[in-house]
Structure 1
Amino acid sequence: MSSSDHVNQGQAIENKELDLKDDSSTTASLKRKAEDDGDNESPSNSEKHSTVVAAHYNHLEEKGLKERFNSPIFYLRNFNNWVKSVLIQEFTDKIREKDYGRPLRVLDICCGKGGDLSKWQKARVERVIFADIAEVSVQQCENRYHDLQKRCGRLFAAEFIAADCTREKLRDKYADPSINFDLVSCQFGLHYSFESLAQARRMLTNVAECLKPDGYFFGTIPDAYEIVSRAQKSSDNSFGNRIYNIKLLFDTKDGYPLFGGKYDFHLEGVVDCPEFLVNFQLLVKLAAEYGLELVYKARFADFYKDYSSKYKQLLHRIICFESYPAPPGKELIGDQFEYEHAKEYVKNNDNKTDRIGTMSTCEWEVASE
C-alpha cells in the first residue's frame, strides 16, 4: 500500500489468471470492449465516510521539496511514482500503436493534488479532466497545472471537477458531456468506492461510460487478501511498523465482507483515514458488467521485474532506491536492522559491489501490501 501510496492495478495486454491469494502489491488493468452496458443505479445516501475522507485530504498540508526529501517514506513515494509513470507511458504507447496521431483524452479520477500532472505532460496527451472528492486538493491541482503551464509553455488542456466520484455522475459536470476518453486512470482511490455496491457501481459508471471502445482503465488499489492475511496473524487485527499502521474494523474469522470492509490506515505524513477493502475477483466481475475486461495484473514486485529493465533510467532519475551503505556524510533513512537484506547481498555478491540501491524493510512492507 502507498501514499498516493497503496497497492496497484493497471491495464495491459496479456490475460492473466485472477487469484487473490497470489496478490501482494498489485498493478492491474482493464480494457474497454467494443460494446458495454450502462447503469442507472443511484448512489447511497450515506455520506458520513465521504465527508471524513474529503476533510482529511482537504486539510493535508502541501509539502515543499525540502520536507519531502526528509520524509521517512521518501523512497517509497518515489517508487510508487515510478510505477504510475510506467503505467501511464505504457498505456499511452498502446493507444498510439494503433493510431499514432490520435489526440489522447484522459480522465484522471481521484486525482488528489495533481501528482500525475507532469506524467501526463510527458506522455503528450491532448486533454485531461481531473476529478476528486476534496475541493481543496482540486484547487491545488489546478494551481499546479497553471504553474506547470508557465514553465512548459504549451500544455494539455484541462478541466477540474470537485465531486464525490462514488456518488455523483461526472458526465453531467464535463464542459463537453459527449467527450470520449482514451484512458481513465484511478491511482490509489478506487477502494473508497467499495463502501457499498451502489458506490462501486457509480464509480465504475463514471470510469466506463465515456471510455472509448479499446480504451484502457488502469489504477492502483490496496491488496485486500494481503491486508487480511497480515491482520489475522496479529492478536488485535492490526499491524504495521514505524511508518504505517492498519487496523481492521471488522471480525476476520469469516474472511471479509464484499463491501464495507472498513479499516483504519495511517501512513506517515500522507494518509490517516478509514478505507475499504476491495475483493479483486468481485471487482473484475462488476467491471465486466460495464464492458471492461482484465488484461493485466501484477504485484509491485512482479511489476518491477516486468519493467525495471525497460525503465531503468527512470528508476535512477526519480531516486527510487536508497544507497547502501550510506555514502560518506549521509545517514540511512531507517534503522540499521532494516537493511539486513542489503548487508547480506553486498556480503555475498560475486561482483563485490561496495554499494547497492535498496529500500528499507519498513518502506517495502508498505509497497508490498
Structure 2
Amino acid sequence: MSCIAANLEENKECGKETLLPQKDEPAKHSSVVAAHYNHLEEKGLKERLNSPIYYLRNFNNWVKSVLIQEYTDKIREKDYGRSLRVLDICCGKGGDLSKWQKARVEHVVFADIADVSVQQCEKRYEDLRSRCGRLFSAEFIAADCSKEPLRDKYRDPSIKFDIASCQFGLHYSFESLPQAKRMLTNISECLKPGGYFFGTIPDAYEIVSRAKKAPNGDFGNRIYNIKLLFDVEKGYPLFGGKYDFHLEGVVDCPEFLVNFKLFTKLAAEYGLELVYKARFADFFKDHSEKYRQLLQKIVCFESYPAPPGKELVAEEAEYEHAKQFWQSKENKTERDRIGTMSTSEWEVATVYMAFAFKKLKNTWDEKGKPVYTKSKQEGQSNKN
C-alpha cells in the first residue's frame, strides 16, 4: 500500500537492526460482539507460535506494556510508594494480567461485555496467583460497559482508581452518543485527579484514508480485511460509522470508527485532558530506544534472512524492504540478521493508534456539576 513506508532502527546492544515496512441495531450488535469474543478459542503455545500474526500480536503487547509502564511510572514519580488501583475496562480474557503484575499494582477491576471471557480472565488470574504466590487483588465484572453503570457493581462503590486502561475496545462504544458517554462515565467517575486513562483503538483517519483508495471501501491483505458498511457518499457519521473487520484468528465482527477530535472533546466533558496520541508507527519511534530490551524479550520482530532451519512467516515478496537493506549492508556475515515484520503484519499494526488522557481536578458549581481546571500541559505529544 502507498501508506506503507520503510522505517529503520539500529539495535546497538545486540548488533541487530530493526527494519519495518511502513505504512444493526444497538442491542443486536452488542450480542454479536459478546458472542464473537465468547467463542474465541484459547490457543495453545504451539499454535500461537505458528500464527500468521505472531509478531503482530507480540508488537501489540509491547505497545500495551509500554503504556502501562510509562503511566504507572508517572504516577509514582510523585508518590513512589503509592498503592495503585486499576480499572481494566474491555479486559477480554485478561491478556494484561501479567503486565499489571509487573507494574506492581495493588488492585485491578476487570470488566468486559463477554461473560465467558471474564470467566477465562478470572481463571487465568487464579492460575497466575498459584504460580506467583503474592498477586494483586482483583474483581471481575461481566457487563456491557457502554450501557451499564459499573460503579454500583464494584465491591466498594467509593473506590478511586489511579489508572483506567481500555485496550482495543473503546471503539465499540462509538455506535451511539449515549454509549460513548456511558463508557466515558464509567472510565472517569472513579478516576482520581492526576490519574491516567490510556488505551489503543483503530485509527479512523487511517481506515478512511485506505478506504478512499480502495474499490467499494473494501481493503486488506492475507491476514486482515476491512469493509465500510455505510454510504461514504453521504459522509462519515460521527457515531455509528460501522465497518466489518476481520483479523486472522482474532477479530471477525463489526466495529465503529472513532472520530478522534470528537473523542477528545467528549473526554474533556468528563475531565479527561489529552496528553498523548500517536499512531503505532510513531509510538514505536517514540519508545523503541527506551524499551529496546522489551522489544527483544517479547520477540516483536522476525529475523531476516531466516536463520538456518527456519522459514519466514510470509512469502519472500513481503520482505522486499528488508532484502534491499540487507543487500546494501557492508561487511555482513552469515550470522548477521535484521529484525523486521512482514508487510501484511505491519499494515495491520499501522491501522492502530495509542492515546493517554489525564484526569483533571475539579470544583463544583451551584447545580452540583463538576467544573474542571485545565492543567499545564506535561509535554503533550500529538502525532497525526
TM-score after normalising by structure 1: 0.87
Per-residue deviation, 1:347: 1.2
Q: Check the 8 A contact 2:26/2:175 in 1, yes or no.
A: no
Corresponding position of 2:79 = 99
What are structure 1's unaligned runs of at least 5 residues?
A: 1-23, 26-44
Where is the strand percentage greater, Structure 1 or Structure 2?
Answer: 2
Residue 365, structure 1, aligned to residue 342, structure 2: no
1:70 aligns with 2:47: no
Q: Is 1:331 aligned with 2:311?
A: yes
Please give the residue correspondences for 1:158-237 in structure 2 after superposition, counting only pairs within 5 Å: 158-237=138-217
* Equivalent residue runs for 1:274-353 within 5 Å: 274-350=254-330, 352=332
Provide the rounded CA distance (Å) in 2 between the counterparts of 1:67 and 1:279.
Answer: 36
Q: Does 1:139 align with 2:119?
A: yes
Partner of 2:15: none
Structure 2 residue matching 1:169: 3-state secondary structure? coil
Which residue number corresponds to residue 4 of structure 2?
none
| Large movers: runs of 4+ above 6 Å | none
C-alpha distance in 2 between matches for 1:124 and 1:283: 30
TM-score by length of 2: 0.84
Candidates 333, 337, 349, aligned match of 1:355: 337
Matched, 1:129 2:109: yes
Residues 265 and 273 in structure 1, CA contact (< 8 A), matched pair in contact too: yes
Match of residue 117 from structure 1 = 97
> What is the alpha-carbon distance in structure 1 between the residues aligned to residue 256 and residue 272 of structure 2?
22
Tell me the secondary structure at the aligned position of residue 47 of structure 1: helix
State yes or no: 1:59 paired with 2:68.
no
Q: Partners in 2 of 1:46 and 1:246 — Cα distance?
A: 20
- Return 5+ residue gaps in structure 2 as ranges: 1-21, 352-384
Conserved? CA contact 2:314–2:342, under 8 Å: yes
Once the two structures are TM-superposed, the CA of residue 232 in structure 1 deviates from its matched residue by 1.3
Task: Tell me how far apart the structure 2 counterparts of residues 240 and 342 of structure 1 sit (CA, whole Å).
Answer: 21
Per-residue CA deviation, residues 29-70 of structure 1 (Å, 9 max, x unaligned), is xxxxxxxxxxxxxxxx94110000000000111111111000
The Cα of 1:254 is off from its aligned counterpart by 4.4
Partner Cα distance (1:78, 1:351) in 2: 31
- The count of residues paired between Structure 1 and Structure 2 equals 327
Per-residue CA shift, 1:202-239, capped at 9, x if unaligned? 00000000000010000000011111111111112100
How far off is 1:299 after superposition? 1.4
1:15 alignment counterpart: none
Larger displacement relative to structure 2 (305-314 or 359-368): 305-314
Query: Counterparts of 1:11-90 in structure 2 under 5 Å?
Result: 46-90=26-70
Question: What is the RMSD of the two structures over their aligned residues, measured on CA atoms?
Answer: 1.3
Percent identical residues: 80
Aligned to 1:17: none
- State the alpha-carbon separation in 2 of the partners of residues 128 and 317 from structure 1: 25
- Mark the CA change 1:66 to 1:288 in structure 2 (over 3 Å): closer, same or farther: same
Name the aligned partner's letter for residue 100 of structure 1.
Answer: Y
Q: For CA contacts below 8 A with separation 6 or more, give which structure has more relative contact order.
A: 1
Counterpart-to-counterpart distance in 2, 1:195 and 1:347 = 48
Q: Which residue of 1 aligns with 2:18?
A: none
